[in-house]
Amino acid sequence: MAKRENDLGRDPVGKLLLRLAIPTVTAQLVNALYNIVDRIYIGHIPEVGDLALTGLGVCFPVILFVSAVSALVGQGGASRAVVRMGEGKLELANSILGSCATLLVILGAAAMAVFLALREPMLYLFGATEETIGYAMDYLTIYLLGSIFVEISLGLNYFITAQGFSTMGMATVVIGAVINIVLDPVFIFGLNMGVQGAALATITAQGVSAVWVVWFLRGRRTRLRLRRGTLRVDWAVLAPVLALGVSPFIMQSTESLINIAFNSSLKAYGGNPAVGAMTICSSIMQVFSLLLQGLSQGAQPILGYNYGSGQLDRVKKAFRLLFISSLTFSCLVFAALELFPGLFVALFNDKPELVSISVWALRIYAGGIFMLGVQFACQQTFVALGETRISLFLALLRKVILLIPLILILPRFFSDQVFGVFLAEPVADVAAAAVTGTLFFWRFPKIMEHRRAELAQIRPQP
């Protein structure tokens, strides 16, 4: 059997976290570029860049939902599979992989069909106007035709990183990102395809990434291996996978609802410039959220494997390192965005009206990002340990219970209603992180004690 890149149960936790986190954070940084490079190029299309960028912004709910489906199946499945590996149940882990791969294809095809049929009225609901609907339709139609590639490349890549193959997982994203970045200017400007070219570059890159992931999971280096016999929908296997994956699914899919709430409110109160500013602000925040997500993904294999194998001291040490590094990073990001917002906004557009409102909005919108380190570290540790109900509640808390109502309520208390809409984000971030941190530090010792009792029964002391 080929040696894995990292021994999750034996290597020193600090060095292991560093080796796993650097590739996953790098992968998410590249993934962030993957996601925003279209917006940067589109925002600089001569004459119509601001309207084209705003049109792309109203497509975000669909794009986010497609990615959320990959997390539902992929992150839930990989978390379950790595715990089963830690318990020595490799066949069951492989069955999880096969069932998840099949379900990803089915859900990708279903999402493509439904969204293609409903795209025009849906985009108007999401904040499109007569000036921006054409750009939104052009981008979304092509993107949806390649959505199955998105599901495969994103969803199955979780099974690569979960085994400790962090460099290979990073390569999946890097390959797609490089192709996308190279093809974007060729299609958008060279072939004069505009937003359609941006979408075509994206799905071409995702298609290549999907082939890479399947190739690796069929190879000899991986312990989790795609086999023809496991490619079936086995609900006995998938039910606990979906139960665990529903937390990251809600975290990402509710971003769609949030985008709808933000865009429709800003369309009513501030028109296209306000919606365009939200596109820029959310793009910037997405980059840093993905980096935090990459850090927590680097820790998840360590947490899950050692929890499954009963090495609870290693679980505690891994969490401490994750928490400290996540909080430090989120505080540094907060300082950068508050002190130098113009540097980040200038990447997307140079029209004075849009730049001015975006700089003002970003300072408000990013006001609570310093607490996201607490949110990500604690919530993702719950996911890694299989705490389905708690992670589901925390996913709902920040996005559904707090943020969406705040978007609708806060503008009523300010004469500047656009200010009230943007203020909803930091208020929800701080409140949700405070609740998440409090709940985690109360519940975590109990989880460890319960696992210790389980292990005592399974492996009684002589």
Measured between alpha carbons, how far is 308 from 396 in angstroms, rounded to an integer? 27
- Using alpha carbons, select from 121, 109, 35 the residue that is nearest to residue 69: 109
Model confidence at 334: pLDDT above 90: yes
| Average pLDDT score over residue span 10-28 | 71
Measured between alpha carbons, how far is 311 from 216 in angstroms, rounded to an integer? 29
Model confidence at 214: pLDDT above 50: yes
| Average pLDDT score over residue span 254-259 | 78
| Average pLDDT score over residue span 398-414 | 90
* Total domains, the chain: 1
Distances (CA, A) of 23 to 38, 110, 227, 319: 23, 32, 27, 18
Q: What is the pLDDT of residues 50-105, one digit of tens each?
A: 777 777 777 878 888 888 888 888 888 887 887 777 777 777 888 888 888 889 99
| Average pLDDT score over residue span 199-206 | 90
Residue 362 pLDDT class (50, 70, 90 cuts): very high
Domain hosting 139: range is: 13-452
Residue 420 pLDDT class (50, 70, 90 cuts): very high
Query: Whole-number mean pLDDT of the chain?
Result: 83
pLDDT at res. 4: 47
pLDDT at res. 330: 92
Contact between 365 and 422 (Cβ < 8 Å): yes
Residue 1 pLDDT class (50, 70, 90 cuts): very low
**461 part of a folded domain:** no
pLDDT at res. 99: 87
Per cent of the chain over pLDDT 90 is 20
pLDDT at res. 7: 60
User: Which comes out higher in pLDDT, residue 32 or 94?
Assistant: 94
Which of 16-30, 62-76, 382-396, 429-443 has the largest mean confidence? 429-443
**4 part of a folded domain:** no
**462 part of a folded domain:** no
| Average pLDDT score over residue span 409-430 | 92
Residue 27 pLDDT class (50, 70, 90 cuts): low
**93 part of a folded domain:** yes
pLDDT at res. 360: 94
**8 part of a folded domain:** no
Lowest mean pLDDT among 16-25, 133-142, 182-191, 419-428: 16-25
Lowest mean pLDDT among 251-255, 340-344, 403-407, 450-454: 251-255
Measured between alpha carbons, how far is 356 from 334 in angstroms, rounded to an integer? 20
Q: What is the pLDDT of residues 101-147, one digit of tens each?
A: 889 999 989 989 999 998 888 888 877 778 888 888 888 999 999 88
**5 part of a folded domain:** no
Model confidence at 365: pLDDT above 90: yes
Model confidence at 321: pLDDT above 60: yes
Distances (CA, A) of 116 to 57, 135, 181, 270: 17, 15, 26, 29
Lowest mean pLDDT among 244-258, 322-336, 353-367: 244-258
Question: If phi over 0 gives left and psi between -120 and 50 gives alpha, with beta otherwise, what is residue 245?
Answer: alpha
**326 part of a folded domain:** yes
CA dihedral 277, 281, 284, 285 (to 10 degrees): -160
Measured between alpha carbons, how far is 399 from 409 in angstroms, rounded to an integer? 14
Residue 31 pLDDT class (50, 70, 90 cuts): low
Residue 331 pLDDT class (50, 70, 90 cuts): very high
Helix (H, G, I), strand (E, B) or coil at 169: helix
Lowest mean pLDDT among 168-182, 227-241, 242-256: 242-256
pLDDT at res. 8: 65
Reported as half-sphere exposure (CB side, CA atoms, 13 A), residue 287 has a value of: 20
| Average pLDDT score over residue span 268-280 | 83
Measured between alpha carbons, how far is 373 from 177 in angstroms, rounded to an integer? 26
Give one DSSP letter per residue of 378-437, joined into a string.
HHHHHHHTT-HHHHHHHHHIIIIIIIHHHHHHGGGG-SSHHHHHHHHHHHHHHHHHHHHH
| Average pLDDT score over residue span 289-298 | 79
**146 part of a folded domain:** yes
Q: What is the pLDDT of residues 446-462, one digit of tens each?
A: 888 887 887 777 655 44
